[in-house]
A and B are shown apart, each in its own frame.
Chain A
């Protein structure tokens, strides 16, 4: 690989399938999660949730709960301590424009499941029991939660959400070109609302340290976000708040924003001046962010040969009544294909739920599903192979930003994915392939996600025993961040990986952004590499100054850090152990920080994306409507792969989640009650083992120069396009075009 971390040009750990460094801690229960930390005086909070979706609380009777032995306090809007006044103070790093939800703020109910009281007791069971005794009377209003009925109220968000690109200005004449096109396709697409449902429910343990100081263990994808939120909302000093989040049991975006259990736990701890933990129930995991309801229309105009002449992609997304949540849904249709006439539109409509939130590849999962099913329809309408159609319309530059791609190996992904899948053996005719009673379908789709980098820093400390400790504030949300950062550090300094320890998720560590957007490998990885290279420079300087230094009169460019030694390149006899350098130099330790951010010159000139080609085989029992996904090949173009094992895991997880989107996941709203009804894992279906068969992951070679390591990020690309590939395979199997997810039995039978 061109971008090696080690100055020798070859890496020992980076690029290998190194197992997770935190694996033993996780499988032996040593890894502690937010709701597992404790304190000698720990009290337990249990949330009472609103039964109505809209209206106001007219009476709260907490007497029976307070009378239960062991109950310390019942916090409500009537007796809560004061908190900040301005919306600004509640706005976290990824908050959309609007007024963030404030728990126990006043008597207004904004959504069903809203916290209306917190019962704090000596133990969890007492708190839960007492919570069941809190009586809340409401004056209910009719909620509006049916987006389909509110589409005429859709509006262009007046204030853009930071970091979210609005649709580009249209180019060409999409309407005119559509009307003139010999092939016209116009479809409405919809995927169900989804909840993230990480295995670990949200929890915050707030340890009261005395003197107004707190240590907070929070389920959050970035401690800096919780820290800033606590400081803003409670007016606390930065030095009085220490936030840690060493491990997450899955986030998928649900842990990007500080959630109400953090607010409630901090409020209760400060009020009672003792440690408090608040853990949400699985049902309460359906009482905040979710992947929004988005109604989409895609209209494609093309020549008989399939050359695109017009793309129109319109989306109306639900948001809450208090914030304008935005994500990038339609822009992908201007990026993925080369088309002279494009018009993209994205609007919002307000419904009485909590604000939607980023969920794995937010917007792309939704928008690319619609586009890639539409492209399959175009392939069928023009009698072309779906890959040939995509190659005919292959984009060589990003028209939405008017920039060339920093790298784009999608062509190779199509080729290698198709070959591995055996795509050449596909009979293009729907309903043409069978395996016994089942119809067989082969479908494919393209995936895309933006490759991003954020300003990040990292610290590194090398001690005289030859051990290195690195770290920053970012979280490993299960993606393998601990492992890749350890690999990078070990290779940068030529240390054994066992001699490197990585610390993450601690607000006392070097500044780093929240873990999201697939930017962590590029951002924190580069910062770690730079911190370690700074250590290397210092060690070298120290080594050269030693008496009888084997590196005397050698420039830095000529030395190699390998096997715990600094050596002169090509002359292994001139070598000294790194630990020996510190000892001989009289140093206990050497410390350095590194910082990294997007290269603005590069990003002004190039657009960066990861791509994928997803191939799916389904077998469908048409009489009974049962769909089985029997085979998936996902070919990924995502720059340099730091760890082939954790990278593959990310793609496998994305594909499984994509199969869930395609066939199973659906949060069902009762529009009369304004309430999600299947709020548990028995009735909200995610794939189980029986649903998952062979998944084959290919990483195609791709060199990228947006950052020094050539890394693009992998957390999200695996899910994008997967649902479309499943839907396209179902069409190929059955001849039924289903534009609405999930594809459950009833839709096959319809």
Chain B
């Protein structure tokens, strides 16, 4: 682990200022950054400890809910308002990591966690995300956990978060502050595809800090689910996950949104497939057709072709669960 400077500002403005110079990193829960420093993947010259910033509350905003960047994953998952109004978010959070990690990990940190690609973590191997231009051995290498959507010849890594998949389906927005002031980023624009710059995970500008994640004023009642499929029944990253919300009028779908995890460099939305669902009857035929639209865009790697079919089936099941109002339990591992 490299030597580094350490500062602990008290205000957002000071935190943003402390980032000047290029090789500084914000640290809050540290559940990912400290690991990355131990692996020499991150070698920050300065750590800006933001845990004293006033970003640790969940509050009502514009009829929705604003979750401060420093609120821990556990606090969000067990918050009464979140459980009542945004149960999908609580479920997605509880599908990830472990109790101990969720107690330390923050909302902002979850957004900014790095991929779990083996090669990215292994300094002994090339990786365009870690070292731009060095190559991507995951392409043609060990890639059963890698992306099937939105990949580039430079990178096939996935975003590992569960929470973000839920936030994408909920159409959250991310409020950020930076040297040029505050702005709001729709969740779908927050993370990016690798393209020619796989080293960039998101669209934050230099020095920008996440202030909060804001949820719109919406209520899907019981019509939601977070379905996560992985290599063991707990404590593993998603091979494929589905976050879905739906509004029904009788059997007819009035509104539906879904996002997929474990399959792309960002939570994967397919607006065409979502639009297809509107006005259709909530049945297997509809869900199958929507799932087929989604996977038509898939481009699997040498070892992960199974993810295409798994995505199709997971989506069909997830949409069924949401429509039926029987969301997947995160404690009973039997899939509903």
B232 to chain A, nearest CB (A): 5
7 contacts between A and B (CB under 8 A): A51-B124, A128-B38, A619-B334, A626-B335, A628-B233, A668-B142, A745-B229
The answer to whether B231 touches A125, judged by C-beta atoms less than 8 angstroms apart, is no
- Judged by a CB distance under 8 angstroms, whether A678 is at the interface is yes
Interface residue? B276 (CB, 8 A): no
With A132-B40, A628-B233, A675-B124 in contact, is A746–B306 under 8 Å at CB? Answer: yes
B306 touches A624 (CB 8 A): no
Among B79-87, B114-122, B177-185, the one that faces the other chain is B114-122
| CB-based contact B333/A628 at 8 Å | yes
Q: Which stretch of A416-424, A510-518, A680-688 is in the interface?
A: A680-688
State how many angstroms separate the Cβ of B36 from the closest Cβ of chain A.
12
Residues in A neighbouring B236, C-beta threshold 8 A: 682, 685
Is A679 close to B, CB under 8 A? Answer: yes
B144 contact from A51, A664, A746, Cβ within 8 A = A746
A685 touches B232 (CB 8 A): yes
Contact of A129 among B2, B144, B231, B333 (CB under 8 A): B2
Does B6 count as interface, using CB distance less than 8 angstroms?
no
In the complex, chain B residues whose CB is within 8 Å of the CB of A438: 334
For B137, give its contact among A621, A672, A690, A746 (CB under 8 Å): A672
Decide if B314 is an interface residue (CB 8 Å cutoff): yes
Tally of A-B residue pairs with Cβ under 8 A?
Answer: 106
Q: Is the CB of B3 within 8 A of A129?
A: yes
Is B125 in contact with A51, judged by CB distance below 8 angstroms?
Answer: yes
Q: Which residues of B contact A49 (CB under 8 A)?
A: 124
Interface residue ranges of B30-88 to A (CB < 8 Å): 38, 40
A749 to B38 alpha-carbon distance, docked (Å): 37
Contact present for B116 and A691 (CB under 8 Å): no
Please tell me if the beta carbons of B231 and A664 are within 8 angstroms of each other in the complex: yes
A683 engages B233 (CB within 8 Å): no
Contact of A749 among B125, B141, B306 (CB under 8 A): B306
How far is the CB of B291 from the nearest CB of chain A, in Å?
Answer: 12
Q: Which residue on A lies nearest to B122, using beta carbons?
A: A677
In this complex, how many residues of chain B approach chain A with their Cβ under 8 Å: the count is 37
Docked-complex contact A677 and B119, CB < 8 angstroms: yes
| Binary B-proximity of A49-69 (CB < 8 A = 1, otherwise 0) | 111000000000000000000
In whole angstroms, how far apart are the Cα atoms of A461 and B243 in the complex? 67
Closest to A128 in B: B1
B213 → chain A closest CB, angstroms: 25
Q: Which residues of A contact B335 (CB under 8 A)?
A: 437, 621, 624, 626
Cβ contact within 8 Å between B232 and A688: yes
Against A, the Cβ 8 Å flags (1 = close, 0 = not) of B200-214 are 000000000000000
- Cβ contact within 8 Å between A624 and B233: no
The secondary structure that dominates the B interface is loop
A670 touches B141 (CB 8 A): yes
A359 to B116, CA, bound (A): 28
Task: Determine whether the beta carbon of A624 is less than 8 Å from that of B141.
Answer: no
The one of A623, A675, A691 that contacts B233, using a Cβ cutoff of 8 Å: A691
Q: How far is the CB of B146 from chain A (nearest CB, A)?
A: 11
Q: Considering only CB atoms, which chain A residue lies closest to B3 in the complex?
A: A129
A678 B118 Cβ-Cβ under 8 A: yes
Chain B residues 119 to 156 lying within 8 A of chain A, measured CB to CB, are: 119, 121-122, 124-125, 137, 140-142, 144-145
B116 touches A624 (CB 8 A): no
Q: Are B306 and A745 in contact (CB under 8 A)?
A: yes
> For B1, what are the chain A residues with a Cβ–Cβ distance below 8 Å?
125, 128-129, 132
Shortest Cβ distance from residue B158 to the other chain A in the assembled complex, whole angstroms: 13
Contacts of B3 in A (CB 8 A): 129
**B232-A625 in contact (CB<8A):** no
Closest-by-CB residue of A relative to B316 is A623
Q: Which residues does chain B contribute within 8 Å of A685, judged by CB atoms?
A: 231-232, 236
Bound Cα distance A690, B231 (Å): 12
CB pair B122 A687 closer than 8 Å: no
A493 contacts chain B at the CB level, 8 A cutoff: no
CB of B255 within 8 A of chain A?
no
Tell whether B8 is near chain A: CB-to-CB under 8 Å: no
Chain B min CB distance to A618 (Å): 12
Interface centre among B140, B233, B239, B306 (most CB of A within 10 A): B233
